[in-house]
């Protein structure tokens, strides 16, 4: 081992408990062996951890309880005092290091505050009962449908006509009626009283009111019982000959569409005579 450098020595990897170290005193006059623990000092044991606070019980649901206060932190243990250095002797041993102080225990955690209880829900009001529905009336039975009648045949268009009457006063007077021009008519007059009859009919074509009327007319008086009523004249504007063409142009005035009748009444009172016409074209 003489003259061997420390850097040339192998590295020790085993347990160093109880190992001695070589050291000189401060005056370098003496050399000592010193336990490693004496020189360095053994480490203090770690303080035990504080116990965890117990968890608070869970409250029933409702308003949340206030949170529990946090537990205070454990006080750190004081560090051990360092050992005094050994006096340097010429070969004295080094002073042992002071032991490390124990770590303080951790403070207990504060308990969690209990949760507040939930408020009770109010009960719901009961619903009112529904009124019972009225019974439906029974439907009446349907009547049977009648059978459809057959459609009637269309009638022919009626002819345009007119019926009237005159009040014939005692004496002889003229009575008349007027028709439209440019048409063909059947004309008639009829008076029938006790012991007296007058009858007239004609078929005429009326063109303009200032030319003759073409046609045929007939008249009859009953004279077998004193003749209380008589036709004294019939229309004068009607001309024509059966089976022949007429070119006669008698003076007829300007109202040939008015037909005038002379009637005599000797009864001494008013009588009624009917008249009328039927337009046939």
Domains of the chain, start order: 11-48+77-104 (no CATH), 162-242+253-279 (2.60.40)
Q: How confident is the model at residue 17 (pLDDT cuts 50, 70, 90)?
A: confident
- pLDDT tens-place string over residues 28-63: 898 888 888 887 765 445 445 435 435 445 434 334
Which candidate, 269, 202, 257, 278, places its Cα nearest to that of 229?
269
Please tell me the number of Cα atoms within 13 Å of 261 on its side-chain side. Answer: 31
pLDDT at 88: 35
- pLDDT recorded at residue 32: 86
Give this prediction's pTM: 0.46
Q: Is the pLDDT of residue 93 over 50?
A: no
Q: Which of 75, 93, 74 is nearest to 83 (CA)?
A: 93
CA 47/CA 182 separation, integer angstroms: 149
- Residue of 16, 17, 35, 18 whose CA lies nearest to 93: 35
Q: What is the pLDDT of residues 148-188, one digit of tens each?
A: 657 656 655 567 899 999 999 999 999 999 999 999 999 99
Question: Average pLDDT, whole number, for the chain?
Answer: 73
Query: Which among 184, 176, 201 has a CA at the least distance from the CA of 279?
Result: 184
Kindly write down the DSSP assignment for every residue of the chain, as one continuous string: -TT--GGGSPPP-S--TT-EEEEE-TTSSBEEEEEHHHHH-PPPPPPPPPPPPPPPPPPPSSSPPPPPPPPPPPPPPPPPPPPPPPP--BSPPPPPPPPPPPPPPPPPPPPPPPPPPPPPPPPPPPPPPPPPPPPPPPPPPPPPPPPPPPPPPPPPPPPEEEEEEEEEPSEEEEEEEE--SSEEEEEEEEEEETTEEEEEEEEEEE--TTSPEEEEEEEEEE-TT--SEEEEE--SSEE--TTS--------TT-TTEEEEEEEE-SSS-EEEEEEEEE--
**Alpha-carbon distance values, 279 to 41, 77, 183, 238 (Å):** 161, 148, 7, 17
**Mean per-residue pLDDT, 189-200:** 98
Lowest average pLDDT, out of 1-5, 89-93, 166-170, 210-214, goes to 89-93
Of residues 75 and 210, the one with the higher pLDDT is 210
């Amino acid at each position: 081992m003489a003259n061997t450098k420390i850097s040339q020595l192998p590295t020790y990897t085993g347990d160093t408990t109880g190992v001695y170290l070589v050291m000189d005193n401060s005056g370098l006059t003496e050399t000592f062996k010193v336990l490693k623990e004496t020189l360095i000092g053994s480490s203090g044991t770690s303080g035990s951890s504080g116990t965890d606070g117990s968890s608070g019980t869970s409250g029933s649901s409702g308003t949340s309880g206030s949170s529990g206060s946090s537990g205070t932190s454990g006080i750190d243990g004081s560090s051990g005092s360092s050992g005094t250095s050994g006096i340097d002797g010429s070969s004295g041993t080094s002073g042992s290091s002071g032991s490390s102080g124990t770590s303080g225990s951790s403070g207990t955690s504060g308990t969690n505050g209990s949760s507040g209880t939930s408020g009770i829900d109010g009960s719901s009001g009961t619903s009112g009962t529904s009124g019972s529905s009225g019974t439906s009336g029974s439907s009446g039975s349907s009547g049977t449908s009648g059978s459809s009648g057959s459609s009637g045949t269309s009638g022919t268009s009626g002819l345009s006509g007119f019926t009237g009457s005159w009040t014939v006063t005692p004496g002889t007077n003229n009575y008349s009626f007027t028709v439209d021009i440019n048409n063909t008519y059947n004309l008639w007059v009829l008076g029938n009283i006790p012991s007296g009859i007058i009858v007239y009919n004609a078929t005429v074509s009326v063109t303009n009111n200032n030319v003759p009327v073409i046609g045929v007319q007939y008249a009859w008086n009953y004279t077998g019982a004193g003749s209380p009523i008589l036709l004294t004249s019939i229309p004068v504007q009607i001309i024509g000959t059966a089976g022949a063409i007429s070119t006669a142009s008698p003076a007829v005035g300007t109202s040939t569409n008015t037909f005038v009748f002379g009637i005599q009444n000797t009864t001494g009172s008013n009588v009624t005579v009917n008249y009328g016409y039927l337009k046939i074209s």
